[in-house]
């Protein structure tokens, strides 16, 4: 008889990058309400916002007692850029514990400076009024190429994306920004299917954390594609200011979700990207709103 556990089996079937993500999300508990998070080897100039979201959600969830309600909302603010050479200390404040509701505040520190803070709300799902917007009509993920195909010929243009960690299988419905740039097309929305690149543990908290990690990708694309701009080709600076998510229904993130995003406004050197995450059968599982500082430096004439 095999002594391999279910968790070991899941890890063995996950891609190497997904295994890295699962380890990142598995923050180390050093006190009742204090957790340490690490960085991966593949890093950018500052801590990836999705990493802070995912690790913070896991830290908050692990301070709840067994049978506590699931995550239903997160509201995060990015205060400083994280140093990718140093670990992150997550301190959790317990605001409320109850059967239908629980609330936590998670604050990430480096060298005793706050770099990130987030409110995490937990609530049991109950019967009530229901409605939702419809899923856009798009091609199925099996009919779309993996993101690696979109990198071909653009390895130097979007080098940071190519070298980044890729724990998520992403299938663009429309062409990504760097391909649209060559067509001159302006696109006021973006659509991409996403799921983890391999199976996930059954723990719902990990699925929420992994989705939060992934929600920090592509959500700002509609800001720049509305103006016919692209990462890599144009001089752009972007930094997330705040990020909110609402989880409406249960889902598994090792099954396909469509991330349908658009940008309702850009003003004051800031832009907002909003997104809806649909299951394959059209159920709206989660909603996202992100605000970012975004600056464009036009070429000198």
pLDDT confidence of 2, banded at 50, 70, 90? very low
pLDDT digits (tens, 9 = 90+) for 209-244: 999 999 999 999 999 999 999 999 999 999 999 999
pLDDT of residue 1: 36
Q: Which CATH number fits domain 6-125+144-296: 1.10.150.120, 2.40.160.210, 3.40.220.10, 2.40.30.10?
A: 2.40.160.210
- Is 49 strand, coil or helix? helix
pLDDT confidence of 10, banded at 50, 70, 90? low
pLDDT of residue 278: 98
Residue 190 clears pLDDT 80, i.e. is over it? yes
Give the percent of the chain with pLDDT over 70. Answer: 96
Say if residues 253 and 196 touch (Cβ distance below 8 Å). Answer: yes
- Give the torsion through C-alpha atoms of 25, 27, 32, 33, to 10 deg: -70
Out of 51, 240, 261, 279, the active site residue is 240
Say if residues 109 and 122 touch (Cβ distance below 8 Å). Answer: no
The yes-or-no answer on residue 234 being catalytic is no
pLDDT of residue 6: 44
In this structure, of 39-43, 56-60, 288-292, the range with the lowest mean pLDDT score is: 39-43
pLDDT confidence of 147, banded at 50, 70, 90? very high
Out of 169, 197, 216, 254, the active site residue is 216
194: tokens are 């996403």
pLDDT confidence of 5, banded at 50, 70, 90? very low
Residue 161 clears pLDDT 70, i.e. is over it? yes
The yes-or-no answer on residue 240 being catalytic is yes
pLDDT digits (tens, 9 = 90+) for 195-205: 999 999 999 99
CA distance 228 to 46: 26
The yes-or-no answer on residue 123 being catalytic is no
Residue 7 clears pLDDT 70, i.e. is over it? no
- Mean residue pLDDT of the chain comes to 94
Q: How far is CA 242 from the centre of its chain?
A: 13
Domain boundaries, the chain: 6-125+144-296
Residue 99 clears pLDDT 90, i.e. is over it? no
pLDDT of residue 141: 97
Give the percent of the chain with pLDDT over 90. Answer: 90
């Amino acid at each position: 008889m095999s002594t391999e556990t279910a968790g070991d089996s899941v890890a063995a079937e996950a891609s190497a990058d997904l295994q890295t993500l699962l380890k990142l999300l598995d923050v180390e508990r050093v006190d009742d309400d204090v957790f340490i998070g690490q960085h991966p080897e593949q890093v950018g100039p500052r801590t990836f916002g999705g990493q802070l979201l995912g690790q913070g959600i896991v830290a908050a969830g692990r301070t709840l007692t067994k049978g506590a309600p699931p995550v239903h909302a997160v509201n995060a603010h990015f205060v400083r850029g994280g140093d990718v050479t140093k670990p992150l200390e997550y301190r959790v404040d317990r605001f409320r514990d109850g059967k239908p509701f629980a609330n936590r505040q998670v604050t990430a520190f480096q060298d005793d400076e706050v770099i990130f803070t987030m409110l995490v709300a937990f609530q049991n799902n109950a019967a009530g009024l229901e409605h939702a917007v419809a899923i856009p009509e798009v091609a199925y993920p099996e009919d779309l190429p993996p993101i690696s195909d979109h990198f071909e010929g653009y390895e130097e243009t979007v080098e940071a994306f190519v070298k980044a960690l890729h724990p998520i299988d992403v299938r663009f419905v429309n062409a990504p920004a760097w391909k649209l740039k060559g067509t001159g097309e302006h696109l006021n929305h973006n659509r991409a299917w996403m799921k983890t690149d391999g199976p996930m543990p059954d723990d719902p908290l990990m699925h929420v954390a992994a989705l939060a990690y992934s929600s920090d990708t592509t959500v700002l694309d509609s800001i720049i594609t509305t103006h016919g701009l692209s990462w890599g080709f144009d001089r752009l600076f972007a930094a997330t200011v705040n990020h909110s998510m609402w989880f409406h229904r249960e889902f598994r993130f090792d099954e396909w979700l469509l991330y349908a995003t658009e940008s309702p406004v850009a003003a004051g050197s800031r832009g907002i990207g909003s997104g809806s995450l649909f299951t394959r059968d059209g159920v709206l599982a989660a909603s996202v709103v992100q605000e970012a500082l975004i600056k464009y430096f036009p070429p000198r004439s």
